Amino acid sequence: MSYTTITLTEAQPVANYKMATRIEGGRLLYIAGQVARDADGEVLGKGDIRAQARQVFQNVRNVLQAAGGDLGDLLKITTYITNLDDFPAVAEIRSSFFPGTLPASTLIVVSRLAQPELLIEVEGMAAIG
């Protein structure tokens, strides 16, 4: 593992994620915000947050694997959604992708994403190798 998980008792996360991570080695990978588009650029799962969330986290994993890593190498992710009511479904699907604790994490409700059909976007950084 190329990073350390920062643990402390004075402050606690509000869900199943790490409070902070610190790079100890390896390469620093930045991942573009991933959205639920297919290879033709079409938005998948219009109106379906679960379908979009699955595609987005799969895309994040694809980028990590293409860089020689995997989800366990993530230092931090930011999940942007357009409707707070979608969060329980997003949290459930997100947890299914991560075997243990999530990386350091931020959840933000934004007014919209690059296209109006997009319901979720996830970006992150990882330490690879």
Partner 1 sequence: MDRCDILAENPVEKRRGYMPGVSVEPGRILFTAGMTGRQADGTIIAGGMAAQTQRTMERLQAILQHAGANFSQVIKQLLYITDMEAHTTHGRGVRAAFFGEARPTSTALGVRRLADPAMLVEIELVADLPGDPAGRPLLEKYNVENHGLDFYQGVIVNGGRLIYLAGQVANMPDGAVAGVEDWKGQAEQVYANIGHVLRAAGASPAQAVKETTWVRDIASWRQHGTAVRRAFYEEDYPASTLVEIPGLVRPEFLVEIEVIAAIPR
Q: Which residues bind partner 1 (CB under 8 A)?
A: 6-15, 17-24, 27-34, 37-41, 59, 62-67, 75-76, 78, 80, 84, 87, 103-114, 121, 123, 125, 128
CA distance 101 to 40: 33
Two tokens at 7?
């643990």
Nearest to 27 by CA among 62, 2, 60, 64: 2
In sequence order, which residues have a C-beta less than 8 Å from that of residue 88 and are 6 or more positions away? Answer: none
- Which lies closer to partner 1 via its Cβ, residue 27 or residue 50? 27
The answer to whether the CB of 116 falls within 8 A of the CB of 68 is no
Nearest approach, Cβ of residue 50 and partner 1 (Å): 18
Nearest approach, Cβ of residue 99 and partner 1 (Å): 19
Nearest approach, Cβ of residue 125 and partner 1 (Å): 6
The Cβ-side half-sphere exposure at 88, using a 13 Å CA radius, reads 1
What residues are paired with 77 via a beta bridge?
105, 124
- Which lies closer to partner 1 via its Cβ, residue 50 or residue 113? 113
As a whole number of angstroms, the longest Cα–Cα distance in the chain is: 48
- Which lies closer to partner 1 via its Cβ, residue 24 or residue 96? 24
Nearest approach, Cβ of residue 12 and partner 1 (Å): 5
- Which lies closer to partner 1 via its Cβ, residue 38 or residue 92? 38
